[in-house]
Chains A and B, each alone.
Chain A
Amino acid sequence: MIEVQDVYFTYQTTGVEALKGVSLSIRNGEFVAIMGQNGAGKTTLVKQFNGLLKPNKGNVLIDRVNTRNISIAQLARKVGFVFQNPDHQLFSETVEDEVAFALKNFGFNEETIEKRVTWALNLLDLTEYRKTSPFMLSGGERKRVALASVLAWDPEVVILDEPTIGQDHQQKETLRQFIIQLNSQGKTVVIVTHDVEFVAECNPRVTLMSEGQIVADGRARQILTNSDVALKAFVVPPQITQIFQGLADLGFPADVIDVSEAGKILIEHFQAERNKR
């Protein structure tokens, strides 16, 4: 359970006030997408969840423990954070060592490390690269290694910062299924993203941020189809929603966000038309 209570945060180096009174509560097992334009404070907010940043004012509680009273390493055990750019963390000679790095830091024994590494590599379809250098892999594969290296210690909360950037359509679809699978296994998943289409297909809870504040919070269907709210945070509704909103005066629903759902509605509509004739 993540409790953010009226948090203010200013970056000391630049003097930018990135969070201005943010309150948010994420229950165990929830799937939340934090959205908003660049500089809205999304990454700043999630960095509070594992203690990389501590609030200037207000509190962040992880399972009722204040992040101020606990080390990053202790928090990381519970809250796994996958950074946007895998090149900011890969350093080992083999993929296997890379995945084992965090497990060693957390003091797991050899046997468990071996088991967890095998499990995580298998989970992300990386077993064949076990002895390869991570630097020899493609961008998408490196991203998967970074993800495996976090999932290996089985954190209760998984935070993914911009997971879809630089991924092709196929990889995005794999990622989507993977995230939904993680979530259905009871993990709390938090993603930070700009990718409206990706969020629409996942249909999670959406927390919309703008200029350091939360401007909307609810199901993806409500938030992404509400053009007033979306516009305030500079989020453009998914393309399929835009089409359906354009067709609203013909009697089509205006809150469609999913392509397969849209397909069903259109098929029903045209079948009804044909039956009338």
Chain B
Amino acid sequence: MSVFEGFRFRHVSSPIHRLDPRVKFLFVLVMFVAAVMFYELLPLSILFLLPVPFVLLAGVQRQWLRSLRGALFLAVFLFVFNLIFGYLSPGTVPYGMAPLEYASAMLLRFLVLVESFSIFFLTTSPDHLSLALEQSHVPYEFTFAFTTAVRFVPVLAEEAQTIMDAQKARGLELERGNFMKRVRNYIPILIPLIVSAIRRSLELAEAMESRAWGAVKKRTNLYVLKMRRGDLVLIVISVILLVTAVFVRYYVHPLPTITTLLPK
């Protein structure tokens, strides 16, 4: 579950934490687009290293590394499969690239996607996120549902632990049996978890209604998101990144591969 640790927000303050979530999301989106545009190792390496200053500035390197470590299993999986298929059917690898380089590039692409989303969630509080959604004219019902879901993840995790304890105390051994048996072992955990989650949501709904939720159609907020200088800087960075990526993609041809860069 360590990959989820890397997406959990903790309350700290840093220049990155204070940025407007909409701008941060724009940056993540640009990272995403750029990562998908390239399949070469060199630009993906640059993209991979690009968010590192942000991480250091926000002081979330520990959690960030943990999320990367959590993603590593899937990344290695991608790497191995790309490598195998690169050798088995060379047609899948772009012209002029070694399968090893292509597989490494795909691994990096995946890590770039994970790391940028991880930074976003590590440095954006659920409250900010809901504000951003609201001020982007997403209906409040959806915003609320979304933030509530995020907020209840730790509660649900704790509950899952208690349920596991309760079933273990009745002799359930999760690690016993073949694969199918092991999957079935989780039924006594999932059913109470789902039932209590539904029960909890009904209770929450009643508690909200009794506190006049939705009585006023048009809501106002105590805090209003405003763009500051830092946000403008990040917008500029994002635009430059996007323009550079598009330029390099369409006008720099061909991109140097590692094999051509290495000294002969």
Residues of A within 8 A of B (CB): 47, 50, 52, 71-73, 76-77, 80-81, 83, 85, 87-91, 101-102, 105-106, 135, 149-150, 153
Contact = CB atoms under 8 A, between A and B. Distances in A.
B192 interface: yes
B192 A72 contact: no
A83 B173 contact: no
Given A52-B165, A83-B166, A90 B192 contact: yes
Nearest to B170: A102
Contacts of A87: 192, 195-196, 199
Nearest to A71: B173
9 contacts: A52-B165, A72-B169, A80-B169, A83-B165, A85-B162, A89-B192, A90-B192, A105-B172, A150-B170
A76 B166 CA distance: 11
Interface of B: 159, 162-163, 165-173, 187-188, 191-192, 195-196, 199
Contacts of A149: 170
Given A52-B168, A101-B188, A89 B163 contact: yes
Given A52-B165, A91-B191, A73 B171 contact: yes
A167 to B, nearest CB: 19
Contact of B192 (A76, A91, A106): A91
B172 to A, nearest CB: 6
Nearest to B161: A13
A81 B172 CA distance: 13
Nearest to B159: A88
A83 B196 contact: no
A105 B168 CA distance: 10
B166 to A, nearest CB: 4
A71 B168 CA distance: 10
A89 B166 contact: yes
Given A88-B162, A88-B196, A83 B169 contact: yes
A201 to B, nearest CB: 27
Contacts of A153: 171
Contacts of B171: 73, 76-77, 102, 105-106, 153
Contacts of B199: 87
A91 B187 contact: yes
Given A87-B199, A89-B192, A135-B195, A72 B163 contact: no
A254 B166 CA distance: 41
- Residue of B159, B172, B195 most packed against chain A (CB within 10 A): B172
Nearest to B173: A73
Nearest to B169: A81
A91 B162 CA distance: 14
Contacts of B166: 81, 83, 88-89
Contacts of A85: 162
Contacts of B192: 87-91
Nearest to B175: A71
A231 B102 CA distance: 70
Nearest to A75: B169
B263 to A, nearest CB: 49
Q: Which of B159, B166, B172, B199 has the most CB of A within 10 A?
A: B166
Contacts of B170: 76, 89, 101-102, 105, 149-150
A47 B188 CA distance: 20
Contacts of B173: 71-73, 105
B173 to A, nearest CB: 5
Contacts of B196: 87-88
Contacts of A50: 169
B34 to A, nearest CB: 37
A150 B169 CA distance: 9
